[in-house]
Each structure stands twice: as C-alpha cells, then as structure tokens.
Amino acid sequence: MRETAAGPRLLLRRLRELMAEPLEPQDRLDRIVHHIAQNMVAEVCSLYVLRADSVLELYATEGLNPSSVHHAQLRLGQGLVGTIAASARPLNLSEAQKHPAFAYLPETGEEIYNSFLGVPVLRAGRTLGVLVVQNRTMRQYREDEIEALETTAMVIAEMIATGDLARLTRPGIELDLSRPVTISAAPFNEGIGLGHVVLHEPRIVVTNLFNEDSEEEVERLEGALGSLRLSLDDMLSRRDVAFEGEHRAVLEAYRMFADDTGWVRRLHEAIRNGLTAEAAVEKVQSDMRARMLHMTDPYLRERMSDFDDLANRLLRMLLGHGPETLAASLPRDAIIVARSMGAAELLDYPREKLRGLVLEDGAITSHVVIVARAMGIPVAGQAKGAVSMAENGDAAIVDGVEGAVHLRPTADVEAAFAEKVRFRARRQELYRELRKKPSVTRDGVPVELMMNAGLAVDLPQLAESGAAGIGLFRSELQFMVASTFPRAEAQERLYRDVLDAARGKPVTFRTIDIGGDKVLPYFKAMENEENPALGWRAVRLTLDRPGLLRTQMRALLKAAGGRELRVMLPMVTEIAEIRQAREIIDREVRHLSRFAHHLPNTLKLGAMIEVPSLMWQLEELMNTVDFVSVGSNDLFQFVTATDRGNSRVGDRFDPISVPFLRLLRQITEAGREAGTPVTLCGELAGRPISAMALLGVGYRSISMSPAAIGPVKAMLTELPLGTLTELMDDTLNAQTCEKDVRGMLAAFAAENDIPL
C-alpha cells in the first residue's frame, strides 16, 4: 500500500508547490496537467471546466492538441466528459471509443488514445468540471489511480472555487459556480431581504489540504472520530433528545454512520494518499454527495443529509471551530441559509446584521419561523437544495412574499428587487399613517388588533405597529434562549419591562409552554417521548412541576403590582386543569399578600383553546375562565392530525375551509352566549385573507406578529363586515364542505376593493 501511495503523495506535494508559486492561472493549470500526466504515466491529462451555459470547456491539456484549449467543448451529458459531469461519477475505460457516449472531437486529436479515466471535479457535491487522463495502450486504471486522480481533482476544485480560473474565461462567459440560481420556496415570513449568504453550520472551508505525515493524520482522524462517537452517545443518552422523534432517529443514524467501516476506510485511504484528515473528510463527503444527488429515493437522500451533518461535525472537531467564530465574521447584511434551525440558534445571530433566512425544511408555524417573524426577518422555507447551491459570501435575495431565493442574482434582478424593497418601504409608510386611524371596519365595527411577542426585542414594535396590546406573550421564549432556567428575578424583570413598555395597554402572558417542539436542553426531566406533540408539555408539565408555575406566577404577580395581570394557560385539555392552576395561583396571591407585596389590581385567568376536547366543554369552559384565546396553530394541528413542523404535511390542509371555520365560529358563538371574551392568537390572524375569514365568523379581537398589523388593518378598514358575515354564514350553513372558501374570499375582496 505504501508504495502505491507514494505516487499520489509526490504528486500532491508538487501540486502544493505549484499552488504557492506566483504563476498566471493558465500557466499554473498547464503545469498541473503536465505533472499529473507525468505522475500517472499517462500520455494525456486534460481539464474541462463547467460553464454557466452547461458547456464543458477544455481549459488545459497535456498531450492533446494545444490549440484546442478553450475551443474544444462538450455539453453536459455529451460525450464521455459530459457523461462524467452529468453523473458525477468516474469513468474507467480501456477502450474509450467503444463506449456508447464517446464523442469524437477532431480538434483535439484524441482518437489515438484507447484507455480513458475521467473523474468529476467536485466541490460540496457540485460538479465544477472533469479531469481526464488517457493512454494509448488498452489498460484498466487501478483503484488507487482513480483515488489519486479524484484527490487531485479536489485541489483543482479549490482553484475554481477561489475564482483563480475566472480570469481565464472569455468575456460574457461565466463559470457554473457563479451561475445565478433561483430556488422556489414557500413564503414563511413577509419581506424581501438583500444581502450575502452565511451558511448556518457552514460547510467548513478546508485550506490545509496536504499532510506531512499520514500516520499523524490517521491518528488525528481516529481521535476526532472517537470524540464524535462519544458526543453522539452523550446526545443520545440525554433525555431531552427525544423532543422530536425525528431528531433522535437522526442521531441514531449518525451514530451508525460514525461506525460505518466503508466510510472510515475511505477516509483512511484519502489520508494515505496525502490529504490531511479534514481534507479527507471533505473529499469522501463530496464524492458521496455527488453520487447521492442523482438518487431519487427520498429516504436515501434524507440519510445523505445526515451524513453531511456528521461530516460537518467531524470537520469541526478536527479544526476546533465553534459557532462563536462565525458571529464575529458575519457580514452586515447576512442571509442565513440552513437546512433547519432551532429558534435559539437564530437568536445567536445579532439581529442588526440579519436580512433574511432561508430554510430547506420547516413549516410556517415552526418555532424558528415564529421567532424570525417576531424579529421581522423575511423567511423563505422549503427551499430545496439551497444549502448545497449557496456558498458563503454569495450575493442573495430572499423573497418572503412570493417565496423564492435568488442566489448570485444578475444585476437586473437585483435592481428589480431593490425597487421592490423601496416600494415596500413606501407601503410601510402608509401602514404607519394607518396606525393613527381607528381600527374599525368600513361599516363601523371596532376590531382589536393585538400583537404577539415573547422577548424584550419585540417591545419597541408595540408602539411602532400601533397594536392595541399584546395578545400573546410567549413566556417560554425566555426559557428557550437561556442556557439554564431563568431565575425568578430575571423573569420578574422581563415581565416588568413588558408591562412598562405596554404603558397600560393590555398584555396577556401565557404560562410557559414548553415540551412538544419547544426544547429546553437543560431540562433533564423530559423523558424520551414517542410522540412529543401529544406528550408531556405546556400546562400538563407545569401542573406536574408546580415549582415552575409558582415561580413564574410569583414573578408575574410582583411585576404587575398595581396594574392589571392577564394570564393564560396553554394546551388545556379539561376544566380540572384550569382549576388546579387557579389553586396554585391563588396560593401565590395569598403568600404575597401575607408579606404585604403590592399585588395586581385585577387578575384575569384565561385558557387557550388548542386541544379539540375543549370543543365539547365549551359552555363550562366559558363559565370557568375570564377569557379564551384560540391557539389556531395547535388547534389546527390536532383537528387535522397534521404535524405543524413537518413540511410534508404542515401545509397540506387549508384552515380557511368549511370544517375548520365552522369550528372557529362555534367558539365565538359560545363566547358570546357566556359573555366571555374570545380572541385568537395563532398565525391565522396575521394574513389579511385569513384574518378576514376570522372576522367573518365572529372574532373581534385577534393577535398576530407585529409586522402583520399594518396589512391586516388596511384590509379591515375597507371591509363591509355585515355583508361578509352573511356570506360566511351562508357558506358554513350550506350542506357542502367542499366550497373553496379561500377563492370566495379573494373574489369578495377584489369586488369590494379590499387590499389583501
């Protein structure tokens, strides 16, 4: 093994020297192909580079006709070279001409060569070109020769990616790497962001490619693999891992991969061929990714993403990179591109530098999206392939209105979007004007527009949005962004700040709603749950851990001294839970008054309607609480049995449909009969069309993200609510459930000049 590996090692050393020399790019390439040919005892070595117009152009050759350089061309998929590029797999042929894809290029003079070995030039799974060696004799290239050529191709990939070859391209022609790409996505949060890509958990750029001593590198690799396995074991044994069933499955798959002998063997081979441990990880990963890109089986592709993550973890272990290094180097206009992300991770980025968020996964109601919305960041979700198509530093546009991501946009696309941004700014100005107008429908019905919040960063929005108050304060966000349970004083301080900022406007605090997809990594009491959305969460958890609820209630009661305190309970399933919570609260009130604390002047207790069982206890519910608030995100998830965080099904059914609107109407009717105020604080409230549907079924108070208040108010001030209510009643009372309510509402808006 050592003898055969000596060749590639020598070659890599020579290439390293060439890379360091101050040469013109063409000169450097010419020497590179010369050395490869010499080292591999091949008569020909050629490099083809993929251009943005899907043409592979000959960039350098040793052995073929030199005048064909920059002239010989093949389309992607055409000829042997085009086949390699399209499939991202090597071709090893002893009689090249016999291959069905062989295409004869007379200008190159290659017809005299029989054997052919070509490998794709890959970077992060993308094909950037093809590297070929040829011999006159009919021979089959050995495994180690293929390996050596692939390793060499990786060095060339770096050259292409760093822009070294861009100087060799003719004017008007671009390399594929810089090709503009548009990815269609789902609009998860309104707004348009222009900026530069920051890959979340970025693919680490490996700069140190060649090793000095392979034994040492193998040791480094083994060390890192050992720590990786340990860290995965550690994560798996942590109870909170099972918050999301999928999360655990992924980790288990990782753990399996970390022991995968094929993977480890390939890593070792790459090191023996002269690479550093980190370059070996990147090479093996890149080859694998490229192969998997052509697989259609979604399960296998998903597993590939796991492998990617694993490789990234391994790279980070080898290089000692932490997330801190990233924040420091963040551009001023960052567009974060991630496969998926936790809410807390987004908050690690400084808000003032964020212009947009691109997610390959997630759903509109997942928590990172809710946080992004609270922060006013445009989000495009389900942007498939975004992570592998984007490079750090690429110019990018997030279109959270139409749902698209434009990578490396052309100047005219960029100009068009810059104009849109200006237009939106003017519209925001209009919304600001609207802020002063009363919130009443065209036919004079007042509607309360409240905002959702959860963090101190949200507070300035209260004045800016013109909200009538905070309809939902997600108190768990403070817990989610902390690394340990927030102390009682910290809780009290936040609640006091919130009430101060509200200046007498109503604020409804929701008691901590953790569990489900809201993870507190430090809360070790969480069990592994098969089905966490239906598990130990929200009020169930706080009733079982009354210490949590007591501390929070005490903080709330103190913070609201002399003012109104409104508290609501999440995920209530039965009335008894409200009674139990009330007992705990009453005990806290008594405790504080015994110590002569300044208590709130009124205390209102409400329940969220999120669990369908409450629908059959509506009357009792309305008589038990001071108000109810519909959590339409969870309610819809449970009514339709669709996981709100699962992008496959999260948006499958439309809440603006007869059955769900009938249910929502039933709640307002029950509230009216009992004289209990009803509000709704899920994402439905924040889109003008769904907000219109809510008004049509009787809601007079809704709570939404602050950015939605302007558009919703613009809708409602033009809305003839009486006419709409009649239309909705007719629709919901009809015998059929299949009416297209969304379409009907859009038509109604168009007829009545209602901006949606």
Q: Is the dihedral of CA 30, 31, 35, 38 positive or negative?
A: positive
Strand-pair partners of 444: none
Position among 394, 399, 634, 683 found at the interface with Mg ion (CB under 5 A):
634
CB of 669 to ligand PEP, least distance (A): 20
Please say whether the beta carbons of 349 and 377 come within 8 A.
no
Q: Name which of 124 and 680 has its Cβ closer to Mg ion.
A: 680
- Paired tokens of 219: 């040791």
Site of tokens 């206009």: 333
How many residues would you count in the chain?
Answer: 756
CB of 465 to ligand PEP, least distance (A): 17
- Paired tokens of 97: 């001409």
With H, G, I as helix, E, B as strand and everything else as coil, classify residue 95.
Answer: coil
Q: Name which of 568 and 732 has its Cβ closer to Mg ion.
A: 568
Residue 632 touches which of ligand PEP, Mg ion, none (Cβ within 5-8 Å per kind): ligand PEP
What element of type H or E holds 96? none
Segment contacting Mg ion (CB under 5 A): 52-60, 62-70, 593-601, 624-632? 624-632
CB of 470 to ligand PEP, least distance (A): 13
Q: Name which of 30 and 643 has its Cβ closer to Mg ion.
A: 643
Residue 681 touches which of Mg ion, ligand PEP, none (Cβ within 5-8 Å per kind): ligand PEP
User: d(Cα 283, Cα 100) in Å, to the nearest integer?
Assistant: 29
What phi and psi, each to the nearest 5 degrees, are found at residue 277? -60, -40
CB of 633 to Mg ion, least distance (A): 5
- Paired tokens of 363: 């759903």
CB of 550 to ligand PEP, least distance (A): 22
Nearest to 737 by CA among 680, 682, 663, 650: 663
- Paired tokens of 301: 């592709």
What element of type H or E holds 306? helix 298-319
Position among 376, 631, 650, 686 found at the interface with Mg ion (CB under 5 A):
631
Report CA-CA distances (Å) from 322 to 332, 368, 606, 673, 743. 20, 21, 43, 57, 49
Residue 529 touches which of ligand PEP, Mg ion, none (Cβ within 5-8 Å per kind): none
Nearest to 558 by CA among 513, 485, 504, 494: 494
- Paired tokens of 281: 């990880």
- Paired tokens of 630: 């519909």
CB of 552 to Mg ion, least distance (A): 17
Residue 82 touches which of ligand PEP, Mg ion, none (Cβ within 5-8 Å per kind): none
Site of tokens 């390399």: 175
Binding mask of the shown chain, residues 584 to 623, with x at each position contacting Mg ion by CB under 5 A = ----------------------------------------
Rg (CA), the chain: 31
Segment contacting Mg ion (CB under 5 A): 157-165, 419-427, 629-637, 745-753? 629-637
Residue 476 in contact with Mg ion, rule: CB under 5 A: no
Q: Name which of 380 and 678 has its Cβ closer to Mg ion.
A: 678
User: d(Cα 642, Cα 18) in Å, to the nearest integer?
Assistant: 57
Q: Name which of 48 and 473 has its Cβ closer to ligand PEP.
A: 473
Residue ranges in contact with ligand PEP by CB under 6 A: 472, 474, 513, 610, 631-634, 681-682
Q: Name which of 395 and 635 has its Cβ closer to ligand PEP.
A: 635
CB of 368 to ligand PEP, least distance (A): 12
CB of 525 to ligand PEP, least distance (A): 20
CB of 517 to ligand PEP, least distance (A): 8
Q: Name which of 114 and 573 has its Cβ closer to Mg ion.
A: 573
Site for Mg ion, rule CB under 5 A: 631, 634
